[in-house]
Structure 1
Amino acid sequence: MRRGPLRRAGVLGVAGGLVAALTVGGGAVGETVPRLGLQPLWSDPDSLSHRRLAAHEAAGRTDLADALRPLAQAPTATWFTGDAPRERARALTAAAAAAGELPVLVAYDVPGRDCGSFSAGGAADEDAYLAWVRELAAGIGERPAVVVLEPDAVASAVTGCGTVPVRERLGLLRHAVEVLTALPATHVYVDAGHAGWVQDLPALAAALRAAGIDRAAGFALNVSNFQPTDATVAYGRRLSRLLGGAHFVVDTSRNGAGAPVTTGRDEDWCNPPGRRTGRLPSTLTGVDVVDAWLWVKRPGESDGSCRPGEPAAGEWFEEYALALVGV
């Protein structure tokens, strides 16, 4: 995806989550029940990292299995892109509900997705997109879910994508928010880019309002990016104040070493070397306006074939996965 210029904490049970007092980004807040509840976050047993772990175990490669285990066991989001999403969403949310866990879904099918870059694609037109969103909503139904809505779509509209009319895109996102928030147990977070991208926060806030943030649970930051957590929380607080105290979630899947040095090239954000996993997923953040640390980007899955020999976006990239856990 285009990123602009550049211990299982996520599955704390009731006993571990009744009282928490953590300090992150300068704010200490006691929590009893987090905004998203005390359900553990969903760890998908069919993720690519789980499959690779199982393959290494079956082959007796215990060193590689042990190295990948933290990635496989951590709750991560499931991305929905193209194709009819109803049955997949139904199966995933049903499995998560049966396990007593809260799934995180990413809706990523907006027309003109990724401004034609490595993850280009999306629905053919507005009608096709709204039909796709309705199918996704039908699959989720009344079961609990978190939906991160359209990574990059708002931020790229603010900074200029060159391929999509801004008003139409934001209106389309607003319709998507309306459809998804009509579900009784779905929490929608509209993606808002990352702390190193849009610096005109009033413009970003206006775009988020046009995209329906008033009806959503809040916004999402740092999806598939590498900005440090403290800097992201500070950025999110400023944006939150412009939005009347809106809450947000932060993708910490690959920000443990901070952002790479930027040169202005796409490769700065596409599988950049030297990165590490960040805070483990959790709904207990200790920060008043942060509802969760999430692993929205699935560590170990490629950003795209940005260098010779690198896998296409979404495919397993084992060398990079091992690097993320320091191997």
Structure 2
Amino acid sequence: MSRTTTTSRRHTALIAACAVIAAAGGTAAAMTTPAGAAAPGCTVDYKITNQWGAGFGAAVTVTNTGDAVSSWKLEWSYAGDQKVTQGWNAEIAQTGAAVTAKNVSYNGTLATGASASFGFNASYSGSNAVPATFKLNGVTCNAGSGGPTDPPDPTDPPDPTDPPAGRVDNPYAGAKVYVNPEWSAKAAAEPGGSKISSQPTGVWLDRTAAIAGANGSMGLRAHLDEALRQKGTGELVVQLVIYNLPGRDCAALASNGELGPAEIDKYKTQYIDPIAAILADPKYAGLRIVNTVEIDSLPNLVTNTTPRPTATPNCDTMKANGNYVKGVGYALNKLGAVPGVYNYVDAGHHGWLGWDDNFGASAELFKQAATAEGSTIGKVHGFIVNTANYSALKEDHFTIDDSVNGVSVRQSKWVDWNRYTDELSYAQAMRAKLVSLGFDSGLGMLIDTSRNGWGGTARPTGPGARTTVDTFVDGGRYDRRIHLGNWCNQKGAGLGERPRTAPAAGIDAYVWIKPPGESDGSSTAIPNNEGKGFDRMCDPTYTGNPRNNNNMSGALPNAPLSGHWFSAQFQELLKNAHPAL
């Protein structure tokens, strides 16, 4: 989950021995390592990232300065009545004042000099002192030189992986999330809609006119002013979708945008710069702004360009002119310079990028974009997956390691050699891959669960028959799309997990970025001034293309333009919600 803040990891690595450093008014203590120990050692960086009422959030980074280990356990005790209530990226247990944090499956190996980060929320009353002693695998971590009073070295150059100062570890921790009153009113007007109309959803800035407010709708300032009203005296997150790249969504006509492939300067000066100026208004300094940056476009450069059989001329153009990479880099740099802004870059979904040919190449491309146009990877707080898509959060009835009669699940028609079966496993794996490429070890992930519940009477209650690998997978899978490549207004879909904070290791939050009830695209061509085309994948009679292996589209009929209210879809999502409403 999220990231380490304020302290340069490069500077931390220069400290000669182990130290415990506390932020947000904490204290630190130095310890010693027994003489003659066989090259043990550790650095523990314990930060109080957020504090509210009777609770607080903390981020911990442990660095192994001794011999490599294949698993780790960090121990400490509190002097007060602090009690851990929720954790991520580690298995945390507490008995009385004593706390142990053990590695999870993907972060147990620590080479010499390697670090692992985890976080937690806790309750407390009275004082909230930083623990005095930490032990890693039984060895006491120590300060050696400098200790708690060792100041930052002014000659130490900035580390490009460091985020700007002042941001909390997980923006969702301890915070309410903005409820868009326009969406809320539409949802509440639907039969049964009041059950979810108070849920937070994303605000889509999908064209330049949306900044000021188009066709009588609220503009960005109006949303932020309403957010201040909802905030009160606590913390509040506002979720924005930055979505207007030149040549946008080169492989999906339904979500084409207003800017032509070459209009990168207009994107910068007429779209990103005005948004950044509004977000930088001191009036809004107390808000936490989560930007989900440019849905879908970067992955298209990997999967839908020559020589792939799914290549399109539009995607080849965008790869050649570099304007997706330049645009994302510019957005990250400009918006990431605003205090209180948290950038999460779109990372597709497992049914798009989970194959070997796509996974690593996409991660490399994300890093390229994160370091373009003056940006640094420190301006990426995390990544978001499954935005406006339908991939199941967790498939419980089969795993990627299962086999039937000696045939791997990966060979089933549904999985089709993918490495992942669901969004949670994909998000955690993509996070680990990005960290291995140099992104912060505390990188956070978001999963859009607005339409991936797949509940209702058709939801399987157990595995499929083990007759063949296909009957096993198809009989047990929650995701009931005809094909993983189907993405438009899917029949049978349902609301997924409700938005919540820190639900799983490495995940900052489950979110509803795509507002339930807003169409993915029109079932037939509809003239419009929004730059939105007609994509046959939204036509329920369409027999498919190479991107969905020439299957039926699975789309609902009579759908309006993308982003417009689609009552039939909303009712479908309510009916098939899981967890049920």
Measured against the shorter chain, the TM-score band is 0.7 to 0.9
In structure 1, how many angstroms separate the alpha carbons of the residues matched to 2:55 and 2:575? 28
8 Å contact kept, 1:253–1:278: yes
1:15-54 matches, within 5 Å, as 20-21=85-86, 31-32=120-121, 35-36=170-171, 37-47=173-183, 49-54=184-189
Question: Which residue in the other structure is 2:335 paired with?
Answer: 180
Task: Choose from 213, 216, 221 the match for 1:90.
Answer: 221
Q: Does 1:274 align with 2:492?
A: yes
Q: Greater RCO between the two (CA within 8 Å, min separation 6)? A: 1
- 1:69 is displaced (CA, Å) by 1.3
1:35-94 CA distances to partner (integer Å, 9 max, x unpaired)?
A: 1131111111121x423524x6xxxxxxx1xx1113311110010011345442222122
Partners of 1:15 and 1:165 lie apart in 2 by 51
Q: Show CA shifts across 1:265-321 (max 9, x none).
A: 7xx321111111111112232x23111111011101111112352211111111211
Does residue 165 in structure 1 map to residue 318 in structure 2? yes
TM-score, normalised on structure 1? Answer: 0.83
Tell me which residue corresponds to 1:61.
none
Give % identity: 28
Higher helix share: 1
Partner of residue 562, structure 2:
313
After superposing the two structures, state which structure 1 stretch, 207-216 or 176-185, moved more: 207-216
Instruction: Establish whether residue 299 from structure 1 lines up as the match of residue 516 from structure 2.
Output: yes
Aligned letter for 1:207? L
Query: Aligned pair 1:117/2:256, yes or no?
Result: no
Structure with the larger strand share: 2
1:252 maps onto 2:449 in alignment: yes
**Aligned in 2, Cα 1:51/1:85: closer, same or farther, shift over 3 Å?**
closer
Contact 1:20 1:30 in 2 (8 A): no
One-letter identity of the residue aligned with 1:39: A
Match for residue 261 of structure 1?
481
Residue 225 of structure 1: SS of its match in structure 2? coil
1:204/1:274 Cα in 2 relative to 1: closer, same or farther (>3 Å)?
same
Aligned equivalent of 2:204, options 44, 68, 79: 79
Deviations 1:87-126 (A, max 9, x none): 4222212221331131101011011112251111142310
- Select 2:290's aligned residue among 146, 168, 171: 146
Q: Show CA shifts across 1:195-220 (max 9, x none).
A: 11012221011110011171211111
CA deviation digits over 1:147-188, x for unaligned, max 9? Answer: 101110111111125314323311221111001100100111
Any idea what the Cα deviations from partners look like across 1:7-54, whole Å, max 9, x if unmatched?
Answer: xxxxxx977998544799x9698731771131111111121x423524
Q: Do the aligned partners of residues 44 and 326 (structure 1) sit closer, same or farther apart at CA in structure 2, a change above 3 Å counting?
A: same
**Residues matched between the structures, number:** 300
Instruction: Provide the C-alpha distance between the structure 2 equivalents of 1:284 and 1:263, rounded to a whole number of angstroms.
Output: 30
- Residue 195 (structure 1) aligned with residue 350 (structure 2): yes
Instruction: Give the equivalent residue in structure 2 for 1:204.
Output: 362
Unpaired segments of 5 or more residues in structure 2? 1-51, 58-83, 92-103, 106-117, 123-168, 213-218, 305-311, 372-376, 395-421, 436-440, 455-477, 523-537, 540-556, 577-581
Partners of 1:260 and 1:272 within 8 A in 2: no
Who is 2:111 aligned against?
none
Rg: which structure is higher? 2
| Divergent runs of 4+, >3 A | 13-24, 26-30, 84-87, 262-265
Q: Which residue of structure 2 lines up, in the alignment, with residue 137 of structure 1?
A: 276
Partner of residue 238 from structure 1, selected from 429, 440, 444: 429
Q: Distance in 2 between matches of 1:263 and 1:76?
A: 27
Aligned to 2:238: 103
SS in 2 for 1:255: coil
Distance in 2 of aligned mates of 1:122 and 1:205: 28
CA distance in 1, matches of 2:205, 2:509: 20
Q: Where do residues 217-236 of structure 1 align in structure 2 (5 Å cutoff)?
A: 217-230=381-394, 231-236=422-427
Q: Which amino acid aligns with 1:259?
A: D
Instruction: Give the whole-Å Cα distance in 1 for the aligned partners of 2:501 and 2:227.
Output: 16
Which runs of 5 or more structure 1 residues have no equivalent in the other structure? 1-12, 57-63
